[in-house]
Structure 1
Amino acid sequence: MGIYLSTPKTEKFSEDGENDRVRYGLSSMQGWRATMEDAHAAYPDLDASTSFFGVYDGHGGKVVAKFCAKYVHQQVLKHEAYAAGDIGTSLQEAFFRMDEMMRGQRGWRELAILGDKLNKFTGMIEGLIWSPRGGDSNDQVDNWAFEEGPHSDFPGPTSGSTACVAVIRNNQLIVANAGDSRCVISRKGQAYNLSKDHKPDLEVEKERILKAGGFIHAGRVNGSLNLARAIGDMEFKQNKFLSAEKQIVTANPDINTVELCDDDEFMVLACDGIWDCMSSQTLVDFIHEQLKSESKLSVVCERVLDKCLAPSTATGEGCDNMTMILVQFKKPIKSTSSAEEQSSNSESTETEPKLEGNAEK
Structure 2
Amino acid sequence: MEFGADFSDPWHFEMGIYLSTPKTDKFSEDGENPRLSYGLSSMQGWRAAMEDAHAAIPDLDSSTSFFGVYDGHGGKVVAKFCAKYLHQQVLKHEAYLAGDIGTSVQKAFFRMDEMMRGQRGWRELAVLGDKINKFTGMIEGLIWSPRSGDKRDQVDDWAFEEGPHSDFSGPTSGSTACVAIIRDNQLVIANAGDSRCVISRNGQAYNLSRDHKPDLEAERDRILKAGGFIHAGRVNGSLNLARAIGDMEFKQNKYLPAEKQILTANPDISIVELCDDDEFIVLACDGIWDCMSGQQLVDFIREQLKSETKLSVVCEKVLDRCLAPSTAGGEGCDNMTMILVQFKKLTPAGTSTDDKSLSSGNVKTKLKPTPAVTPADEKSLLTEEVQTQSEITVAGTYADENSTSSEEE
* TM-score of the pair, normalised by structure 2: 0.81
1:63-142 matches, cutoff 5 A: 63-117=77-131, 127=140, 130-134=143-147
Deviation track 1:237-285 (CA, whole Å, cap 9, x = no partner) reads 0011111000000000000001000000000000000000001110001
CA contact (8 A) 1:194 1:356 kept: no
CA contact (8 A) 1:117 1:124 kept: no
CA contact (8 A) 1:258 1:354 kept: no
Out of 36, 40, 43, the residue aligned to residue 29 of structure 1 is: 43
Report how far residue 339 of structure 1 moved: 1.5
Q: Which residue does 2:187 correspond to in 1?
A: 173
Q: 1:29, 1:2 → 2: CA distance?
A: 16
Q: Which residue does 1:6 correspond to in 2?
A: 20
Q: Which residue does 1:294 correspond to in 2?
A: 308
Change in 2 beyond 3 A, CA 1:252/1:83: same
Amino acid at match of 1:317: E
Q: 1:192, 1:159 → 2: CA distance?
A: 31
Count of paired positions: 352
CA contact (8 A) 1:256 1:353 kept: no
Q: 2:326, 2:368 → 1: CA distance?
A: 33
Task: Using the aligned pairs only, state the percent identity.
Answer: 79
Out of 348, 358, 364, the residue aligned to residue 352 of structure 1 is: 364
Q: Which residue does 2:8 correspond to in 1?
A: none
Report how far residue 112 of structure 1 moved: 0.5
Q: 1:117, 1:52 → 2: CA distance?
A: 29
Deviation track 1:28-67 (CA, whole Å, cap 9, x = no partner) reads 0000000000000000001111000000000000000000
2:175 is the counterpart of 1:161: yes
Q: 2:349, 2:17 → 1: CA distance?
A: 48
Where structure 1 has 5 or more consecutive residues not aligned to the other structure, the ranges are: none
Q: Which structure has the higher relative contact order (CA within 8 Å, separation 6+)?
A: 2
Out of 297, 304, 325, the residue aligned to residue 311 of structure 1 is: 325
Q: 1:316, 1:189 → 2: CA distance?
A: 30
Report how far residue 336 of structure 1 moved: 7.7
Deviation track 1:131-160 (CA, whole Å, cap 9, x = no partner) reads 42448x9x7797323201101110000000
Q: Which residue does 2:12 correspond to in 1?
A: none
Q: 1:96, 1:41 → 2: CA distance?
A: 18
CA RMSD of aligned residues (A): 2.5
Q: Which residue does 1:43 correspond to in 2?
A: 57
Q: Which residue does 1:272 correspond to in 2?
A: 286
Partner SS state of residue 357, structure 1 = coil
Amino acid at match of 2:369: G
Q: 1:12, 1:257 → 2: CA distance?
A: 31
Q: 2:216, 2:346 → 1: CA distance?
A: 38
Q: 1:246, 1:335 → 2: CA distance?
A: 44
Report how far residue 128 of structure 1 moved: 8.2
* TM-score of the pair, normalised by structure 1: 0.92
Q: Which residue does 2:166 correspond to in 1?
A: 152
Q: 2:87, 2:16 → 1: CA distance?
A: 35
1:174-193 matches, cutoff 5 A: 174-193=188-207
Amino acid at match of 2:84: K
Partner SS state of residue 339, structure 1 = coil
Report how far residue 111 of structure 1 moved: 0.4
2:242 is the counterpart of 1:228: yes
Deviation track 1:301-335 (CA, whole Å, cap 9, x = no partner) reads 00000000000000111000000000001124237
Q: 2:30, 2:266 → 1: CA distance?
A: 30
Q: 1:74, 1:157 → 2: CA distance?
A: 20
Structure with greater helix share of residues? 1
CA contact (8 A) 1:30 1:322 kept: yes
Out of 196, 209, 220, the residue aligned to residue 195 of structure 1 is: 209
Q: 2:106, 2:366 → 1: CA distance?
A: 18
2:268 is the counterpart of 1:241: no
CA contact (8 A) 2:250 2:261 kept: yes
CA contact (8 A) 2:26 2:43 kept: yes
